Amino acid sequence: MGAVVGTLTMQTKQRQPARDKVDDELEMTMVCHRPEGLEQLEAQTNFSKQELQVLYRGFKNECPSGVVNEETFKHIYAQFFPHGDASTYAHYLFKAFDTTNNGSIKFEEFVMGLSTLLRGSVRDKLEWTFHLYDINRDGFISKEEMTDIVRAIYDMMGKYTYPALKGDVPKQHVDAFFQKMDKNKDGVVTMEEFVLACQEDETMMRSMQLFENVM
């Protein structure tokens, strides 16, 4: 009786590998990616050759296949924020870096994003941030989108904070934000409103300059 059962299971197993082999081959062809030449990247971004080299070495170390997928990205970002849950914010970041929207970040996209953030003009930075907040890429930041973003940021803090998180703190934060940003009070923030409001805010301007010399 045991033998009968055994042979039955054997039959079902044999049918699977054929399909799996095809899938494996497909995956193998997609995985490796090499970036364009160093000179081209140097021309397209504001980084020097050495900086690109250092960046690429770090990138390739973590992602030997040449692309970052979302899981790896979330994992890497979560290492920096061990207290809370950084996955949601990492997801939004991933979407912001993945300009081609194909679910993976190549080195070029990565470097372009970093170039904007670190070496770009103030306006470039603000535009990049607007794109980060505008989750559905419709050109407007709605209250729901902003709430999602702020909630994701608060998630990174984790549970143990001082003072303790009581009430719906993200919502209050979003209300304050909209108070500041939404000039015409139409419930959404456009790019121009955003840039204008930020440029008026002295503290924010100063904070933006903080990360000038990260590289």
Partner 1 sequence: MATGVAAWLPFARAAAIGWMPVANCPMPPAPREHSKKQDELIILNVSGRRFQTWRTTLDRYPDTLLGSTEKEFFYNEETKEYFFDRDPDAFRSVLNFYRTGKLHYPRYECISAYDEELAFFGIIPEIIGDCCYEEYKDRKRENAERLMDDQEENKDSRLPNMNFRETMWRAFENPHTSTMALVFYYVTGFFIAVSVITNVVETVPCGSTPNQKDVPCGERYTVAFFCMDTACVMIFTVEYLLRLFAAPSRYRFMRSVMSIIDVVAILPYYIGLVMTNNEDVSGAFVTLRVFRVFRIFKFSRHSQGLRILGYTLKSCASELGFLLFSLTMAIIIFATVMFYAEKGSSSSKFTSIPASFWYTIVTMTTLGYGDMVPKTIAGKIFGSICSLSGVLVIALPVPVIVSNFSRIYHQNQRADKRRAQKKARLARIRIAKKGSSNAYLQSKRNGLLNELLDLTSSEEEEQHMNKTSSLLESQHHHLLHCLEKTTAHEFVDEQLYEQNCVEGTQFSRSPSLSSQEGFTGTCCTRRSRKRIPLPNASLSTTHTHTHTQGLQELSAIHIQCGDQPSLSTSSRSSLNMKSSERSRINCRGQQITTAVISLPSPTNFPPDGDGHGLANPVSAPATINTTSSSNIVKVSAL
Residues in contact with partner 1 by the rule CB under 8 A: 1-3, 50, 54-55, 57-59, 61-62, 76-77, 79-80, 82, 93, 96, 110, 114, 117-118, 125-126, 128-129, 132-133, 149-150, 153, 173, 176-177, 181, 194, 198, 203-204, 206-208, 210-211, 213-215
Taking the complex as a whole, how short is the minimal distance between the CB of residue 125 and partner 1, in angstroms?
Answer: 6
**Measured from the CB atom, is 25 or 202 closer to partner 1?**
202
Burial of 174 (0-12, 13-18, 19+ CB in 10 A): buried
* Between 96 and 165, CB nearer to partner 1: 96
Residue number with CB closer to partner 1 (14 or 179): 179
Judged by beta carbon, residue 19 or residue 137, the one nearer partner 1 is: 137
Query: Which contacts qualify for 86-92: CB closer than 8 Å, 24 or more apart?
Result: 86/155, 86/156, 88/148, 88/151, 88/152, 88/155, 89/149, 89/152, 89/153, 89/155, 89/156, 91/152, 92/132, 92/135, 92/148, 92/149, 92/152
Nearer to partner 1, 18 or 210 (CB): 210
CB of 81 to partner 1, least distance (A): 9
- Least separation in angstroms between CB 63 and partner 1: 10
In angstroms, what is the minimal distance from the CB of 29 to partner 1?
25
Separation CA 95–CA 73 (nearest Å)? 11
Q: Which of 48, 154, 166 is nearest to 111 (CA)?
A: 48
Cis peptide before 163 (omega within 30 of 0): yes
